[in-house]
Structure 1
Amino acid sequence: MHHRLMLTEVDPLAGDQAAALVRDGYLLLRGAVPAAWRDMLRVAFDAGVGSSDQWSAPRGGGWRHALLDLDPTVQRTCRLPSLLAVGAEILAGPFFLAQVEGREPLPGEGHQPLHRDGAGAKAVSALVFLDAYGPDNGATRVVPRHLDGGEPDEASSLIVAGDAGDILVFDADLPHGATRNRSGARRRSLLLSFMQERHRASQDACRAIRNVRMDTSEVFVPRESARPLP
């Protein structure tokens, strides 16, 4: 797809949040999604769930997957200022929204080994929770950066818990993984990724296999470094 790049300036993260992000490698933004949007996001999620043949590449078993990147409320959620501020702090330069889809662990399923997404790729992952989440219904666990010894260590992992409307944002190189949905309660989420602008060409080359339909031409620039792209 060929679109004219549009620059959007991103305000910096508050000092205390920036310090916590440097220490831990993640931030939990509690109640970040406006309450009025949450039902609309759940409707978009459920409407986007289809058969496996709607995806160009197979999705992992044990999960419900939703194709929803064209939904306007999903798009607005991906651009929440608090979310973009965390992305700007981690990526420290121009970046773009590379992908967003819906995921939900099925009852009795969802457990993932601790892993790193794209080690060394310098990316940001975020989980926008559409239902209450915790250790009973497949919440995500992370290893805080200051406890990360290089090899994934379950003993150092923490299970994140909270309510619908929270957003977990983390350096994609941080060890993380979902837990098993033991209770069977719904735990819908949006999974999205931001990547540095220098990765745009490689991401554009695989749009089809990643089922990316949305316009990804917007470039987010940390305000202190906002300037025309070379």
Structure 2
Amino acid sequence: MSDLLTPTKVDPLAAPQAAALDRDGYLLLRGAVPQAWREALRDAFEAGVGPDDQWAAPRGVGWRHALVDLDPTVRRTCRLPSLLAAAGRILGEPFFLCQVEGREPLPNAGYQALHRDGVGQNAVAALVFLDSYGPGNGATRVVPRPLDPGDLDGEPDEAASLVLAGEAGDILAFDADLLHGATRNRSGARRRSLLLSFKPARSRADEDACRAIRNVRMDTGEMFAP
């Protein structure tokens, strides 16, 4: 892997977006992926879908998974300026892209209980939507930070969650501590996405130690600085 000495400088978010992200813990970047890239991303997803044994660790039942981290258009998408700006705003320190894979809820499947991906990890998660998404086909729901009681021992309040809706090319970036979860794909319509994560540079050794079990094949050497 490369070890770049000079981090790539990340531009700041526009003030209204920064304020919304600070307040809510997530930011929906509408139409962030260029139209010309979207079909190539869907092609990369389909090419990456394979048998269960292509994964070092079992994947969740009810989902279609795709290995995509070597695809050049996927890697360009993970470096979109608006996405990096959101990640830099949340993390506030040098960071790197540590993982990206494809995921899609199968018909009548995909439901997740509200959960937090990275309690205390200071991590960023993002979903790049490759199809239109909404309450019918398993869209993600989030609990905005002002409605999150922050009680890790209590049962999350489903009534506080908001089901997102939008179009292919949107990107959802959020603090990994934010309560979120997929809904059930009741309509059976396609709802492909790229799931990726950014972590602080200080987490690199831990992430490198588990590359194989996470099926990370890409070079993660590039660093970004807000």
TM-score by length of 1: 0.95
Measure, in 1, the Cα distance between the counterparts of 2:160 and 2:186: 22
Instruction: Using the TM superposition, give the Cα deviation of residue 150 of structure 1 relative to its aligned residue in structure 2, in angstroms.
Output: 1.6
Task: Summarize the alignment of residues 132-147 of structure 1 with structure 2, pairs less than 5 Å apart.
Answer: 132-147=132-147
- Mapped to 2, the partners of 1:150 and 1:11 lie a distance apart of 30
* Structure 2: gaps spanning 5 or more residues: none
Residue equivalent to 2:183: 179
SS in 1 for 2:46: helix
2:120 matched to 1:112? no
**Distance in 2 between residues matched to 1:132 and 1:3, nearest whole Å:** 36
Structure 2 residue matching 1:218: 3-state secondary structure: coil
Equivalence map 1:33-52=2 (5 Å) = 33-52=33-52
Give the % identical residues: 75
**Distance of 2:176 and 2:43 partners within structure 1:** 28
Distance 2:87 2:52 in 1: 31
Partner of 2:17: 17
3-state SS, counterpart of residue 103 of structure 1 = strand
**2:160 is the counterpart of 1:156:** yes
Deviating 4+ runs (over 6 angstroms)? none
- 1 CA distance for matches of 2:212 and 2:4? 20
Alpha-carbon distance in 2 for matches of 1:145, 1:167: 18
Aligned to 1:202: 206
Tell me how far 1:5 sits from its aligned partner: 2.2
TM-score normalised over the length of structure 2? 0.97
1:90-111 Cα offsets, whole Å, 9 max, x none, are 0001000010000000000000
Counterpart position of 1:68 = 68
Any idea what the Cα deviations from partners look like across 1:81-132, whole Å, max 9, x if unmatched?
0000000000001000010000000000000000001200000000000000
1:26 aligns with 2:30: no
Is 1:193 aligned with 2:192? Answer: no
Question: What is the SS of the residue equivalent to 1:64?
Answer: strand
1:61-95 Cα offsets, whole Å, 9 max, x none, are: 00000001000000000000000000000000100
Determine the structure 1 residue equivalent to 2:57.
57
Cα deviation, residue 168, structure 1: 0.4
RMSD: 0.7
Q: Which runs of 5+ in 1 are unaligned?
A: 223-230
Give distance in 2, aligned partners of 1:177 and 1:61: 15
Whether 1:3 aligns to 2:2 is yes
Secondary structure class of the residue paired with 2:223: strand
